[in-house]
Amino acid sequence: MACLLPLPCKKMNSYLIENEICYLVLCERNYSKRLAFSYLEEIAQEFYQQYGKRVNTVTRPYTFIEFDTWMQRARKQYGEGGARARRAGATAQLGGQLGDVQRIMMQNIDDVLQRGAVLSELDTKTQNLSMMSQKYKKDATYLNTKSMLVKATAGAVILLVFVLYFWVL
C-alpha cells in the first residue's frame, strides 16, 4: 500500500507498506512523487532482502541501524531530484517497459506454439479421419458385394427347389 500525504508546511510525506513494514519519506512538496515512491520501493526491496526474515524477532529499537549507511547512499542518488535520480527513474521505467514487452512477446510466442500444436493435432485427426473414411468405403463395397452374392445364392437355391419340385412331380 502506498500513499502520499501533503503537510501544511512545504513538505510532503509519502509512505509505503510492504510485508507488514512501513517505509516513510519526508521531502519537499515540489519533489517528484514518482522519484519519492521509487526511493521507497528501492529501500523496501533492499531492506527486505537484508533483514526481512529477522523483522518479527526484533525486541529492541535501532536493531537495524546499520541499514542507515545504505539509505544515505540511496538518498544521495535521489537527492534534490537531480539528474542522476531522474536517469535512474527513467532507466527503471524503461527497464519496466522492456520487461513488459518481453513478457508480451513471450506470451505471443507461447500462443503461436500452442496454435502450432493444435494445428498439428488437427492435421493428425484429419489424416486419421481420411484413412477411416477410405476403410469405411472399402468395407461398404465389400459388404455390398457379399450381400449381393448371398441374395443371388438364395435366389438360385429357391429356383432350384422349384425346378426340382415341378420336375420331379
pTM: 0.44
**Tell me, what's the pLDDT at 31?**
76
Residue in 21, 4, 22 with CA at minimum distance from that of residue 13:
4
**Tell me, what's the pLDDT at 142?**
95
Q: Which residue has the cell 489424416?
A: 127
Q: Enumerate residue ranges in the chain where pLDDT < 70.
A: 1-10, 12, 80-89, 169
**Tell me, what's the pLDDT at 87?**
62
Cell of 66: 546499520
**Tell me, what's the pLDDT at 137?**
94
